[in-house]
Structure 1
């Protein structure tokens, strides 16, 4: 190794003919990369490595920034691409749209509603160099990840394709033309025959071959987008183009129409006329002409790494493309630190294979698909990948592929998911598939908001997923429609996970064990869960669906791992007890489960009658007061004199859960707890909202209320409540509930990071 660490500089005003110094920077990342290649092949990389300092500004990408094996650093000579201190670097995959005008095309004006005709803006995309806007594709459950269509972002926020009904609302399937029986014997509708709906809006729409529908056609955990073939407004029937969605149509399931010019009627909605190359926008927030407007264009990843090692990216923002942010294939000792990854069409970071890849201290939000999608390790040999996802803040993702595109999705062996804050997702927060995966010290809330029969942490359908640990997580206030949601969902006979030292608060079915074996559920706290733990025995059911799953698919997966041979025979000797059941006719029973030393306030366990004799339940604290520090605001620390500590419960270090301040993440959002109380004064109902600063720095934020009845929003408008709180300080405000009766659920919600939600169900007199 030669000399001192080297520095190169890149700036928007630079020139690739320059020398790459601070005074004469390069213009592109490629030029800096090529200069590092020269260093490596001539004198060798210097001791201490090379830092590419990137000056603040916008870097528009028309292709991926690619690094290959020859662009690697070494252990003592790493290569770092990072923003200059205090400067904002935006790497974007879109085009800035700067020239708007009022709509003057009569053929367009007559399709717009009279109330918005003088407010909708138009831009000629060809004037901005845009010739390809992509197309909408059939995305969703069990569909491949494909580049998104061109999307519009204004002031850093994604706009909404014009739709009916408004964003967040759904229509219901009223019927179908071709009935059929599904695998459960229920009458549903054949997808090729179309479905019927209620409402008259399509009567005003002109025929268009690019109208789409998005729906949960059969189940609340399986969505898809389908292109409309034909709408018959007279019979209110919709048929779609193949490929059709999954399963079948069920009456009462949810859907909406999108990409409809006539429904461009809400601030923040847009429409792209791909034939004419024109963009139409109803500006958000009553802006005359929006300022920061970007249309996503690039389909390739913003950064593509192939067999790279000892390279890191730090303090950069990756945004506004139609594809993934960073894709790392076969890489080792690569890290992404303190980056912001947002407004992408697909996923934030994709890791395929390799070893020791770390994603730390990043903030990820508003992606069309997921946050981090990670594969690595060898399930046959149990060689670990040792990938790490640590201390990231992930929220408001899966804007398009609503199901199974999660904050963190990991496959393989030997991954660590720790100290992440995850919230505001339509479906699951963390999916894991494999062995020796540890999920610990994460805080998760407000997930599964649009789906049902889902879990904040989920895996399923494999007896050989072993050695996994779910430990010291705080999961609270999950959502869910239909069947609701679970905090830890061990689905379809998956087995062998240790679920220990977690806190579950106000969730349905906190720990759900769907017929699996060899679970350890120990030293957890359950507060207001319904129930704390549920266990069924579907593995022994004689229903054809379950029998095919266990004796067919799961037996095949079991045999693939050769559990009678090393390393499985040595690492997981309990697997040997399963094999004899595959030779029988009664299925696989849920044996080997242990539930011990847990604390529960609320409903305790719900266990199938046939499974109850097989479960060991002992030494749990389910009666009495545990003496938590501040449970109303979600602080479930225990003092040394707590009766549960005296009974053998090990206190959970709650202060270590969630984001932590360190050299990578130098600041964390203040933690604000909220609570709701019903107040009744002089025949008037209301709610008292309180907020408490649980952190060690001042907190400034706001929150709103929403009301639901049986899961359906109640149209009440509440003012935004703004607060400023010193550490430990509490403030309150009262809101009336007028014109509401029956049983309703009131919730707090906030766009401010880590203002924890609260929820209260009230029975109101008519």
Structure 2
């Protein structure tokens, strides 16, 4: 056994024993058996892709399929005297449906059934290999192959483990929304080969940067398929269309939906951001299309790809493993170790239901979902509990599973959520595993539908990154209504939306009602390292929580010891959203967020006292600098302003993220190295009479090689390139802008990302915009404050509402000690302006007991505007976070 795997196993065993998790002490026996300390028991089962299901299942005569192995286990499990191991030889175990496990397949007598693989060499796959590639006559660069037998549909194709992009592009017509879809400006779509394959995607953006806002909230990306296109009439599939456009609103609260989550219909006239899955859109390397009627797959290879020798996999099965326990007969004492799960799909979004998103991959479903689903007491016939919408399924899933373990596994190339530990899951573990290249959520725990809550689930020492790849409102770890769960020592990086999302049902506080009662308590999120999160969507956080988390601060949720930094979208480091009650945020290191490190003030509507939801924000290192105090139950105390990481004890930083025995996970590469995914949400603004500012969401799926830079290209209305500019990835991370020289005519802009392997396909184009001269300076920022410590201060301000004739691209801060002006740039400059959210920056290197005057002025293409001024005194004994206004 490799040294690092032996160390990881020892750590897992020690952790299980130390935590006293019921049934997990038996892992020590498994470790001894694996290292040869005890003899192999005769009940073990051996499986090989070259085996024979008529064989005995011994080491010399292995069976071939997982189902046959399960049946042999079932016959032997009743009288276990030691752990029973199913040894999976290296190779690919292809599935057309799930390996179904129930109570009969469980361990017993204190022992477990261990499905043991050989790491990267053991793959449980839902894929079907695509072979027989030929060039398509008359289409330069395009290849096609017959679809594998039995493959009726799929949403994912992979080439040597690299996800291909379903053919996509701009909607080729102007659309006007109707009750059932759209009226188009021409019949172009009706003349496509298969218009009913096309899927409209709705992504929100920042309106001030020339990006449409047409989703169901900035945290969502709904999708609905075209049902038919006849002439200029486009009919959308039902119920997806109604579920995305008819959500019930309160009759006496204009614009407030009864769901209380986002708008009642697709915004900006319901116009899609782009269209996906049409043969006519195949125009970029890495794009593919499945012609279901002709039973052929089309693909435009990327540079260097040779289809004659490539492993091309179409995801076919929707489930790989499914544990079907019940409350009366749980499935229990089963472990999956050193196995890769991959190439599974999820076809519901391609059908009539589509993907009518609410939040975090939950959707509104059913023929009248918009009218009743999860609306409980607020509408006649509403289903309960409130907010019990439909959860995205897991490609590997367990319900009512007890003492289920996943260790040293890989979840990659998946089309739904990676791993779902659903209702009734108890005392189960996920450790030492990798979750990446997943369409939706990485790990899902519990649910929100009123069934038995998950409890005692530990998700520890995993690396989750480069997700979600398709449903961009999904999160890395989703935790619903649960008890005694621990999410600890994980590294979560380069994710499109929130990293960890806990809790549910807090939205009724928007109308003055208390959060939905739920069974959650004693959940902990601790010592995780989270960075480069919210890379695509907005209004989330590194750790996002809403709803009741317990019955008191003693048993409420604990968010402790995490290091969370470098947020891209609009949000917070730790986001305590609607109805979040009894949460403790303590001892975290929080920096480089857009407008708050901790968002925490919401009125507690469980009584009429007007207090805030009880929350404790204590002893964090942060940049926000809010003063100590007790704001009607919101207690802030002992937090320290950090001007840099040197202000944080090294032990705190070292304790976050993967523990030493698991840090080898960071060096593992999944799939072939490839070019990055294209950037997204490209927006433009004037930079003067001869240039545009270009901003976009950076690539969070880097192809296995870090992104080194970006290139923006401008095109006139005839499609001719009229401008180009590049920037390094480091510079773009600092400024969030590229200055692009262009002629004084309307242009669209695309952006590519590059790494050591090459350049990505171009992004979808921005909306047209012509540069204009900027002459009017912005107004001064408002509400400046200095929140002082002894040697540092947080300068806070609100962006000006009047920006003149250009957009704010930065701020200039001066400090009266004579240092050079501080130039404030970055993504938060752009997103806080659009939302009028406050901003803050830390000024370090100050002297104790010294009076300072600080100014802040907005910068646009017209120049530097007037400054706002604030004065305050530091002091060696001043309370941390003392606030002084002007």
Please indicate the TM-score interval, normalised by the length of the shorter structure.
0.5 to 0.7
Aligned pair partner of 2:295 in 259, 277, 297: 277
Q: Which residue of 2 aligns with 1:678?
A: none
Residues 1:239 and 1:605: Cα distance change in structure 2 (over 3 Å): farther
Would you say how many aligned residue pairs link Structure 1 and Structure 2?
Answer: 568
Q: Which residue of 1 aligns with 2:490?
A: 420
Q: CA deviation at 1:599?
A: 4.2
Q: Which residue of 1 aligns with 2:167?
A: 162
In structure 1, what is the Cα distance between the partners aligned to 2:413 and 2:652? Answer: 35
Q: How does 1:203-352 map to 2 (within 5 A)?
A: 205=192, 208-216=195-203, 217-229=215-227, 240-243=236-239, 244=241, 245-246=244-245, 247-251=264-268, 255-289=273-307, 291-306=310-325, 307-323=330-346, 324-352=394-422
Q: CA deviation at 1:416?
A: 0.5
Q: CA deviation at 1:619?
A: 4.8
SS for the counterpart of 1:209 is helix
In structure 1, what is the Cα distance between the partners aligned to 2:644 and 2:561? Answer: 19
Contact 1:378 1:413 in 2 (8 A): no
Q: CA deviation at 1:312?
A: 0.7
Residues 1:4 and 1:750: Cα distance change in structure 2 (over 3 Å): same
Q: Which residue of 2 aligns with 1:122?
A: 144
Q: How does 1:611-690 map to 2 (within 5 A)?
A: 616-622=635-641, 628-629=645-646, 637-638=648-649, 653-662=652-661, 667-669=665-667
Q: How does 1:16-165 map to 2 (within 5 A)?
A: 16-41=53-78, 44-47=79-82, 49-74=83-108, 76-84=110-118, 88-104=121-137, 117-125=139-147, 128-133=148-153, 149-165=154-170
SS for the counterpart of 1:477 is strand
- 1:604 and 2:625 are equivalent in the alignment: yes
Q: CA deviation at 1:431?
A: 1.4
1:473-520 CA-to-partner distances (Å, cap 9, x unmatched) read 11111121xxx122211112321100011111211133443543xxxx
In structure 1, what is the Cα distance between the partners aligned to 2:477 and 2:229? Answer: 36
Residues 1:132 and 1:68: Cα distance change in structure 2 (over 3 Å): same
Contact 1:379 1:412 in 2 (8 A): no
Q: CA deviation at 1:305?
A: 4.7
In structure 1, what is the Cα distance between the partners aligned to 2:615 and 2:57? Answer: 62
In structure 2, what is the Cα distance between the partners aligned to 1:589 and 1:40? Answer: 56
Q: Which residue of 1 aligns with 2:708?
A: 704
Q: CA deviation at 1:280?
A: 0.6
Q: Which residue of 1 aligns with 2:468?
A: 398
In structure 2, what is the Cα distance between the partners aligned to 1:212 and 1:514? Answer: 38
- 1:10 and 2:6 are equivalent in the alignment: no
Contact 1:83 1:316 in 2 (8 A): yes
Q: CA deviation at 1:337?
A: 0.6
Q: CA deviation at 1:465?
A: 6.8
1:25-67 CA-to-partner distances (Å, cap 9, x unmatched) read 22122232222333345xx3233x2222111111111221122
- Please, what TM-score do these two structures have when normalized by structure 1? 0.65
In structure 1, what is the Cα distance between the partners aligned to 2:540 and 2:448? Answer: 27
Residues 1:369 and 1:592: Cα distance change in structure 2 (over 3 Å): closer
Contact 2:166 2:276 in 1 (8 A): yes
Q: CA deviation at 1:292?
A: 0.8
Contact 1:463 1:493 in 2 (8 A): no
Aligned pair partner of 2:573 in 487, 501, 506: 487
Q: How does 1:354-753 map to 2 (within 5 A)?
A: 354-375=425-446, 385-433=455-503, 434-462=520-548, 467-480=556-569, 484-513=570-599, 515-516=601-602, 578-581=606-609, 588-590=610-612, 592-601=614-623, 603-605=624-626, 616-622=635-641, 628-629=645-646, 637-638=648-649, 653-662=652-661, 667-669=665-667, 702-706=706-710, 716-717=725-726, 739=740
1:115-170 CA-to-partner distances (Å, cap 9, x unmatched) read xx131111112xx313521xxxxxxxxxxxxxxx34211111221110004xxxxx
Q: CA deviation at 1:229?
A: 5.0
Q: CA deviation at 1:365?
A: 1.3
Q: CA deviation at 1:8?
A: 2.7
In structure 2, what is the Cα distance between the partners aligned to 1:419 and 1:206? Answer: 50
1:521-566 CA-to-partner distances (Å, cap 9, x unmatched) read xxxxxxxxxxxxxxxx5x6xxxxxxxxxx5xxxxxxxxxxxxxxxx
Q: CA deviation at 1:349?
A: 1.2
In structure 2, what is the Cα distance between the partners aligned to 1:327 and 1:219? Answer: 29
Contact 1:368 1:397 in 2 (8 A): yes
Residues 1:750 and 1:335: Cα distance change in structure 2 (over 3 Å): farther
In structure 1, what is the Cα distance between the partners aligned to 2:286 and 2:66? Answer: 34
Residues 1:618 and 1:212: Cα distance change in structure 2 (over 3 Å): closer
Residues 1:193 and 1:330: Cα distance change in structure 2 (over 3 Å): closer
1:90-136 CA-to-partner distances (Å, cap 9, x unmatched) read 110121112111224xxxx5xxxxxxx131111112xx313521xxx
Contact 1:361 1:665 in 2 (8 A): no
In structure 2, what is the Cα distance between the partners aligned to 1:751 and 1:260? Answer: 31
| Structure 1 stretches lacking a partner, 5+ long | 110-116, 134-148, 166-170, 179-190, 517-536, 540-549, 551-577, 582-587, 630-635, 640-651, 671-699, 722-735, 753-757
In structure 1, what is the Cα distance between the partners aligned to 2:600 and 2:173? Answer: 30
SS for the counterpart of 2:438 is coil
- Please, what TM-score do these two structures have when normalized by structure 2? 0.57
1:179-235 CA-to-partner distances (Å, cap 9, x unmatched) read xxxxxxxxxxxx6464889x998698567222110103242123211123567998x
Residues 1:327 and 1:491: Cα distance change in structure 2 (over 3 Å): same
Contact 1:92 1:319 in 2 (8 A): yes
Residues 1:268 and 1:626: Cα distance change in structure 2 (over 3 Å): closer
Residues 1:294 and 1:500: Cα distance change in structure 2 (over 3 Å): same
Contact 1:326 1:348 in 2 (8 A): yes
Residues 1:436 and 1:254: Cα distance change in structure 2 (over 3 Å): farther
In structure 2, what is the Cα distance between the partners aligned to 1:470 and 1:511? Answer: 13
Contact 1:11 1:56 in 2 (8 A): yes
SS for the counterpart of 1:495 is coil
Residues 1:335 and 1:305: Cα distance change in structure 2 (over 3 Å): farther
